[in-house]
Structure 1
Amino acid sequence: MIQNPIYILAILSFLIFGSEWLCKHTKLKHLSSSLLVILLGALFANLGVIPSASNASPVYDSIFQYVAPASIFFLLLGVSLRELKKAGMPMLIAFSLGALGTMFGVVVALQLVDYRAVFGENYAAIAGMMTGTYTGGSANFNAIALEYGMLKEGAVFTGIVVADNIMTTIWMLVTLSLPMLMKKVRNNPEVLSKPALAIEKHSEEEKLSPLNLGLLMGLALGTMFMSDFISDWAALQGFPVPSVLILTTLALVFAQTKFIQKISGAKFLGMYAVYLFLVVVGAFCEVTALAAVGVNAIDILVFTGAIVVVHGIVLILCGLMFKLDWSIVAIASQANIGGSSTALALAKSFKRVDLVLPAILAGALGTGLGTYLGFLVVTLV
């Protein structure tokens, strides 16, 4: 029974429901749904309720092969480059400096740990994953992990996700206090952003009709097919291009059209798809494998922490040099480290209604840019 595909999908769906419910209604709300769904997957796999890495189901392979890239496609459909001008030049400058700080941070972090011993031959992929996620969020992290097969490295993958969540939480606290602290060092002038309305229209909720569902699914599957076809063709010509990079580019091109921008439901589908493959990542985390990661847990935490700290130092020094509004610096940093949602929360915490839309847009830019920077780092380290 445990290998029955319908049974497996039913349990995985209930685990997604459980993680969302726990995040909304219990003290576990301080954890992210992404981390919770991985932990639930690991728990149920180790209890023998669902297959684990040692007796993996073909269902898991299908989710990695089809659901994971679909999630990336759906999430990227919300990135409108045309809207980025509304973020304002100060926000875009701060965001770009933060992205450079992240790349520099990855290089420094690799020197602080014995990365070959900790990560083995996967060190370059992990460096790219961390560059992606600390440029604009987890969609980039997952895209690079997918390309290099890291989703099946359950224990290592989970260790990195845990460290990432810890550092993201700590950095949220740092950026919350950053403007107040830095104003004591140098009280840079505030820069008010013009588009202060429409922000309240931003919502995490989306409506999904059968019409939109059919169109979005057709677009996703068609684009995945074309990405694989182009990638195979390019390899035959002697210049291999990762399929997921082609998928990212095509999704961004589609996202710029007014027709696609009017279709609701892509974010909803993207998040569900993300949870579905993350719960499978959790299922690959067998206790025996996690024990091996335990030895390197401190190194993984030092590695992720160093990236964030160097990112912060670079951004703060640039803020001092260029006299940037400290609220903008903090929000841009959160757009890098946590993505649109945490940047949005920070803007609201500062009561800077004028910066809410720029925060969302900077996060969207990170979602589009992070995968490219991640692959660049993979080739350079």
Structure 2
Amino acid sequence: MIVGALIDKGDTWILWAIIIVWATVSLFLEQKYQWASTISGAIIALVGAMILSNFKVIPTSSPVYDTVWDYVVPLSIPLLLFSSNIMKIWKESRRLLIIFFIASIGTMIGTLIAFISLNQWIPYLNNIGAMMTGSYIGGGVNFAALSSKLETPGDMVSATVVADNSVMALYFMLLIALPSLPIIKKYFKTDYETERSPKAQQSYWEPKKIQLLDIAFSIASAITLVAVSFKGAELIQQWVPKSNILLTIITSFFGDSYLLLTTLTLIVVAIWGDFFEKLAGASEIGTFLIYIFFVVIGVPASFATIITTAPLLFVFVIIILIFNLGLSLLIGKALKFKIEEILLASNATAGGPTTAAALAIGKGWTGLVGPILIIGTLGYVVGNYAGTLMYQLLSQMV
């Protein structure tokens, strides 16, 4: 018998209070204590949420969590991009594009190896392999599209989602921790060697002069950009025909709400750069929203559910991520990529652009937030094609 959580998934205000208070506690601990600064507030937020969900204090799913994904995450993107230099972003994006495709190849190789290893024990693994290829190059939208397209049984889809969410929470913590490991510091280059030094931390958290109008303009601009982008993407999907490959590509790019939001924000910031540079508080608000997101992505990591329903899928997903990160580190090292570029590219493929941007903010890699959002959202387009190709390949091996 499955015992429900102490707090029901419909207790909206209680869940919001827990999420926001724990995000605040994570920030407070990171600012006040050296041990917490070393671990990072992101990990504290994640682990706290995992403990609460695994000990049945809060549910592993709720409309509140969906609200964070549907509204809080989109709103954080423009707030964090208002200080982006578009010329620098283009320069950095070209490098990230290369390592992004290397990580994508790692995903496909890992899926193939995992399929060969576990196919005889997991049903519909050709479907699941295709879904995870799409998801670990693009994101959740690719996972949903491919699961629907391939008509995968609902129970297998649910089990895969549970395995994916649980492993991704751990994987995200691994990516946060890797740059601090002595072996990584020894063999990989970085542009952010002082990101966790006391001086850098003090500079980042020190009070800044923020006026009421700064907050008003920041939130009003962000909400407007999200509204226009999401509605625009919806209209493009409805109105633009897919009668030829050019129109299909246009629809795939600009019909994606996150890609359109990122593009539109960068254009607006490029045109009215002086206005957005003078806005104080936008990045701070965006960072707090990202910490709320950190809490929510830790919630679904229910190890009890994994052990009872999908242990082999847990292994399947781990194998894919091992090859994704392993190939990224090996080739990234050979091509002299910086460790932050490698980890963000791997994160963007496995977790999507929003989690990659969250990692960049959490680690202080602010100059890479814009570039990884651009590259990560391009994965949405590639994901469905790669997933379909993987399905054709794996189906021949069944």
Q: Among residues 44, 61, 64, which one is paired with 1:59 in the alignment?
A: 64
| Equivalent in the alignment of 2:87 | 82
Q: Among residues 45, 48, 51, which one is paired with 1:43 in the alignment?
A: 51
Q: Among residues 152, 160, 164, which one is paired with 2:168 in the alignment?
A: 160
Letter of the structure 1 residue corresponding to residue 204 of structure 2: E
TM-score by length of 1: 0.67
Does residue 315 of the first structure (1) align with residue 328 of the second (2)? no
CA distance in structure 2 between the aligned counterparts of 1:52 and 1:175, rounded to whole angstroms: 34
| Equivalent in the alignment of 1:232 | 234
The alpha-carbon deviation at position 300 of structure 1 amounts to: 3.0
Does residue 127 of the first structure (1) align with residue 136 of the second (2)? yes
Letter of the structure 2 residue corresponding to residue 163 of structure 1: Y
Q: Alpha-carbon deviations, 1:327-367, whole Å to 9, x = none?
A: x7556546656879999999xxxxxxxxx9xx864x24533
Contact 1:103–1:377 (8 Å) recurs in 2: no
From the superposition, tell whether residues 72 and 340 of structure 1 become closer, same or farther in structure 2 (CA, over 3 Å): closer
From the superposition, tell whether residues 147 and 329 of structure 1 become closer, same or farther in structure 2 (CA, over 3 Å): closer
| Equivalent in the alignment of 1:283 | 299
SS at match of 2:169: helix
Contact 2:111–2:129 (8 Å) recurs in 1: no
Contact 1:147–1:244 (8 Å) recurs in 2: no
| Equivalent in the alignment of 2:282 | 266
Contact 1:13–1:276 (8 Å) recurs in 2: yes
CA distance in structure 2 between the aligned counterparts of 1:170 and 1:273, rounded to whole angstroms: 24
CA distance in structure 2 between the aligned counterparts of 1:172 and 1:226, rounded to whole angstroms: 40
CA distance in structure 1 between the aligned counterparts of 2:256 and 2:60, rounded to whole angstroms: 28
CA distance in structure 2 between the aligned counterparts of 1:128 and 1:360, rounded to whole angstroms: 23
Give RMSD over aligned pairs.
Answer: 4.2
- Unpaired stretches in structure 2, ≥5 consecutive residues: 1-6, 119-123, 146-157, 190-199, 243-250, 348-355, 387-398
CA distance in structure 1 between the aligned counterparts of 2:302 and 2:357, rounded to whole angstroms: 33
| Equivalent in the alignment of 2:220 | 218
Contact 2:42–2:291 (8 Å) recurs in 1: yes
Letter of the structure 1 residue corresponding to residue 169 of structure 2: V
| Equivalent in the alignment of 2:14 | 7
The alpha-carbon deviation at position 96 of structure 1 amounts to: 5.0
| Equivalent in the alignment of 1:204 | 204
Letter of the structure 1 residue corresponding to residue 265 of structure 2: A
Letter of the structure 2 residue corresponding to residue 275 of structure 1: Y
From the superposition, tell whether residues 147 and 26 of structure 1 become closer, same or farther in structure 2 (CA, over 3 Å): farther
Does residue 378 of the first structure (1) align with residue 383 of the second (2)? yes
CA distance in structure 2 between the aligned counterparts of 1:344 and 1:62, rounded to whole angstroms: 21
Superposed, which structure 2 residues align to 1:121-200 within 5 Å? Answer: 122-129=131-138, 144-145=139-140, 153=161, 156-167=164-175, 169-170=177-178, 173=181, 174-178=183-187
From the superposition, tell whether residues 104 and 125 of structure 1 become closer, same or farther in structure 2 (CA, over 3 Å): closer
Contact 2:77–2:262 (8 Å) recurs in 1: yes
Number of residue equivalences: 321
Q: Alpha-carbon deviations, 1:109-161, whole Å to 9, x = none?
A: 322222974956641442125xxxxxxxxxxxxxx4478679x9465223113
SS at match of 2:68: helix
Contact 1:168–1:337 (8 Å) recurs in 2: no
Does residue 303 of the first structure (1) align with residue 327 of the second (2)? no
From the superposition, tell whether residues 96 and 73 of structure 1 become closer, same or farther in structure 2 (CA, over 3 Å): same
CA distance in structure 2 between the aligned counterparts of 1:65 and 1:305, rounded to whole angstroms: 29
| Equivalent in the alignment of 1:17 | 24
Q: Alpha-carbon deviations, 1:17-42, whole Å to 9, x = none?
A: 23334555375655443343233223
Contact 2:163–2:306 (8 Å) recurs in 1: yes
Deviates more, 1:66-75 or 1:369-378: 369-378
Q: Alpha-carbon deviations, 1:11-70, whole Å to 9, x = none?
A: 2222112333455537565544334323322332444543442xx3x4333322211211
Contact 1:98–1:332 (8 Å) recurs in 2: yes
From the superposition, tell whether residues 164 and 252 of structure 1 become closer, same or farther in structure 2 (CA, over 3 Å): same
Letter of the structure 1 residue corresponding to residue 232 of structure 2: I
CA distance in structure 1 between the aligned counterparts of 2:96 and 2:129, rounded to whole angstroms: 32
Letter of the structure 2 residue corresponding to residue 245 of structure 1: L
Does residue 245 of the first structure (1) align with residue 252 of the second (2)? no
| Equivalent in the alignment of 1:352 | none
Superposed, which structure 2 residues align to 1:349-368 within 5 Å? Answer: 361=367, 363-364=368-369, 366-368=371-373
TM-score by length of 2: 0.65
The alpha-carbon deviation at position 274 of structure 1 amounts to: 2.0
